[in-house]
Amino acid sequence: MSNRKYVIAKTGEEVKFGDIVAYKYEKETSFGTLVSYQEFTLTPLNIEMFIKKGIIKVVNTSSYKEDNLGYYITLAAKKMECPPEDLIKWLDKMNKVCSKAVLDFLLQSIAVEFYHKDMEGFNEATEYYSLKPKDGTVGKVNVTNAYIPLFKSREEAEKARVLLKEQLELMYGKQKNC
């Protein structure tokens, strides 16, 4: 997966997670157009909304849609029968209250899609892996008492870890080898 770089579409100025982004909101009323500005902290959860609205542009993205966290958020939104923007807003609000719950939700969404891609391989696996709740690193899981999203291989768990890099950094600080 290639590195992603986010820039403000109008200026080309690079932005990173944690930066404040202003969003211009226009609404037609009977008195004319109401214009206001709202400020948001840029997070892994709301970045897709800014990209879709054309406020933020992505540079150096991977051509594989599965290498994008937004892909899994969109799939989860379809299953929940809500627009991806609504799910992103909810995840963003929830992230302020309990970032661990957001990580668990996203990890579960990724694990389910990996499972659907290779159900037989998952069922035949002899070892399972997941992200450790203590620090977000990949580790082998004892399936007899596992109530966490499972992956059939260390490679799949590492791919999920890379997809969740920004969320893990918000929770645990700088991640090694992502």
Q: What mean pLDDT is predicted for residues 15-24?
A: 84
pLDDT for residue 106 = 93
Comparing CA positions, the residue from 103, 165, 156 lying closest to residue 130 is: 156
CA-to-CA distance for 97 and 141, rounded, in angstroms? 28
Judged against a pLDDT cut of 50, whether residue 2 lies above it is answered with no
| 157 domain-assigned | yes
Banded pLDDT at 8 (limits 50, 70, 90): confident
pLDDT tens string 69-125: 888 988 899 999 998 889 989 998 998 888 888 988 999 999 999 988 888 888 888
Using H for helix, E for strand and C for coil, what is the string for the chain?
CCCCEEEECCCCCEECCCCEEEEEEEEEECCEEEEEEEEEECCCCCHHHHHHCCCEEEECCCCCHHHCHHHHHHHHHHHCCCCHHHHHHHHHHHHHHCHHHHHHHHHHHHHHHHHHHCHHHHHHCCCEEEECCCCCCEEEECHHHCCCCCECCHHHHHHHHHHCHHHHHHHHCCCCCC
| 131 domain-assigned | yes
| 77 domain-assigned | no
Domain count, the chain: 1
pLDDT for residue 1 = 39
Judged against a pLDDT cut of 90, whether residue 171 lies above it is answered with no
Burial letters 73-90, b for 16+ CB under 10 A, else e: bbbbbeeeeeebeebbeb
Judged against a pLDDT cut of 70, whether residue 178 lies above it is answered with no
Structural domain boundaries, residue 136: 98-178
pLDDT for residue 64 = 47
What does pLDDT average to over the chain?
83
| 30 domain-assigned | no
Judged against a pLDDT cut of 90, whether residue 126 lies above it is answered with no
CA-to-CA distance for 10 and 66, rounded, in angstroms? 28
pLDDT for residue 118 = 84
Q: Are 105 and 99 in contact (CB under 8 A)?
A: no
| 43 domain-assigned | no
Which backbone phi and psi does 147 adopt, to 5 degrees? -120, 40
| 18 domain-assigned | no
| 42 domain-assigned | no
pLDDT tens string 59-77: 765 444 667 888 898 889 9
Banded pLDDT at 143 (limits 50, 70, 90): confident
